[in-house]
Amino acid sequence: MEVILKEDIDNLGHRGDVVKVADGYGRNYLLPRKLALQATAANKAVIEQMKASAARRAATEKAKAEAMVAQLEPLVLGFTRKAGEHGHLFGSVTSADIAGELAAKGFEIDRRKIQLGEPLKSVGEFTVALRLYREVTARVRVQVQAEASEEAPAVPAETAPAEAVAEEAAAE
């Protein structure tokens, strides 16, 4: 089956390309998700017009992505998680966590654009790549810290008033 791609798809092609794919892949994945059109003569004529507008749109998207890189580069994201003795986290910091923190700082970035091989599972500072556009990648520093544990032993509530009375009596 030949299809015309409406979006960039990894390992397949870019927007506007006419590619040959397996029938099931095209019928069950690309067409229902509106990622592609079936390659007919009418659609090929329409796609030529789409290519011209896509070229203009691509230039503006790339410019926006480059402007966003300038805003993201100095950014440092901080996470505090429970950790064991040797700095291993009990949980992890995932791309969804990073996307949520970026959203809190005013940057709407899809978690799938965050290039994180596997979740961060240790305390430290990491550099995470954000693929904003085809050739535009931003790097953000992520600091993962262990939660501060209270080392002072807690005094039971029942013994606290008795100790306070004993201290007052000793002071008099």
Does an H or E element contain 170, and which? helix 159-171
**Are residue 51 and residue 78 in the same domain, yes or no?**
no
**Are residue 40 and residue 79 in the same domain, yes or no?**
no
Residue 116: CATH number of its domain: 3.10.430.100
Look at residue 163 and tell me if it is in a domain.
no
**Are residue 8 and residue 38 in the same domain, yes or no?**
yes
Sign, Cα dihedral of 87, 139, 108, 133: negative
Q: How many domains does the chain have?
A: 2
Look at residue 167 and tell me if it is in a domain.
no
What's the domain range around 25?
2-60
Look at residue 38 and tell me if it is in a domain.
yes
Residues of the chain with confidence (pLDDT) below 70: 149-172
Look at residue 166 and tell me if it is in a domain.
no
Q: How far from the centroid of its chain's Cα atoms is residue 29's Cα?
A: 24
Residues 137-166 as b or e (16 or more Cβ within 10 Å = b): ebebebebebeeeeeeeeeeeeeeeeeeee
Instruction: Please tell me the predicted confidence (pLDDT) of residue 45.
Output: 80
Instruction: Please tell me the predicted confidence (pLDDT) of residue 152.
Output: 41
Look at residue 77 and tell me if it is in a domain.
yes
Instruction: Please tell me the predicted confidence (pLDDT) of residue 149.
Output: 63
**Are residue 76 and residue 53 in the same domain, yes or no?**
no
**Are residue 79 and residue 118 in the same domain, yes or no?**
yes
Look at residue 116 and tell me if it is in a domain.
yes
Look at residue 13 and tell me if it is in a domain.
yes
Q: Are the beta carbons of 77 and 101 closer than 8 angstroms? A: yes
Residue 47: CATH number of its domain: 3.40.5.10
pLDDT digits (tens, 9 = 90+) for 82-107: 998 888 998 899 999 999 999 999 99
Look at residue 157 and tell me if it is in a domain.
no
- Residue 168 burial by Cβ neighbours in a 10 Å radius (0-12, 13-18, 19+): exposed
The answer to pTM > 0.85 is: no
